[in-house]
Structure 1
Amino acid sequence: MIKKEWYLEYEINKNRPGLLGDISSLLGMLSINIVTINGVDDSRRGLLLLSETNEQIVRLESILNTMDTIKVTKLREPKLRDRLAVRHGRYIQRDADDKKTFRFVRDELGLLVDFMAELFKRQGHLLVGIRGMPRVGKTESIVASSVCANKRWLFVSSTLLKQTIRSQLIQDEYDENNLFIIDGIVSTKRANEKHWQLVREIMSLSAVKVVEHPDIFVQNTEYKLQDFDYIIELRTNPDEEITYEPVQSNRMFDENPFGGFDF
Structure 2
Amino acid sequence: MADGKEWYLEYEIHRNRPGLLGDVSSLLGMLGINILTINGVDHERRGLLVAAREDKQIERFLAIAETMETIHLTKVRPPTLSDRLAVRHGRYIERDTGDRKTFRFTRDEIGLLVDFMAELIKKPEHLLLGIRGLPRVGKSESIIAASVSANKRWIFISSTLLKQTVRTRLSDDERSADHIYVIDGVVSKRRGSESHWDLIRQLMRSPVTKVIEHPDDFVKETEYTLENFDYILELRNHRDEQIRSSGDSIHSDFPWSDFN
Matches within 5 A, 1:137-156: 137-156=138-157
- Helix, strand or coil: the match of 2:223? coil
What is the match of residue 126 of structure 1? 127
What is the match of residue 196 of structure 1? 197
Report deviation, 1:244. 2.0
C-alpha separation in 1, matches of 2:181 and 2:125: 13
Matches within 5 A, 1:223-242: 223-242=224-243
TM-score of the two chains, using structure 2 as the length reference: 0.91
The structure with the largest strand share of the pair is 2
What is the match of residue 165 of structure 2? 164
**Deviation digits for residues 172-214 of structure 1 (CA, Å, limit 9, x no counterpart):** 1111110000001111222122111111111122221100000
What is the match of residue 39 of structure 1? 40
Report deviation, 1:247. 9.2
Runs of 4+ aligned residues of structure 1 deviating over 3 Å after TM superposition are 245-248
- Counterpart AA for 1:55: K
Report deviation, 1:81. 1.0
C-alpha separation in 2, matches of 1:245 and 1:4: 49
Report deviation, 1:246. 6.2
2:117 aligned with 1:116, yes or no?
yes
- Counterpart AA for 2:162: L
Report deviation, 1:123. 2.1
What is the match of residue 11 of structure 2? 10
C-alpha separation in 2, matches of 1:70 and 1:2: 26
**Deviation digits for residues 5-53 of structure 1 (CA, Å, limit 9, x no counterpart):** 1111111011112211111111012110000111111111010000101
Q: Which runs of 5+ in 2 are unaligned?
A: 250-260
Comparing 190-199 and 4-13, the one that deviates more: 190-199
C-alpha separation in 1, matches of 2:105 and 2:131: 11
What is the match of residue 107 of structure 1? 108
CA RMSD, 1 decimal? 1.6
Corresponding residue pairs, total: 248
- Helix, strand or coil: the match of 1:243? strand
Report deviation, 1:65. 2.1
What is the match of residue 56 of structure 1? 57
- Percent identity of equivalent pairs: 62
Contact 1:12-1:71 within 8 A present in 2 as well: yes
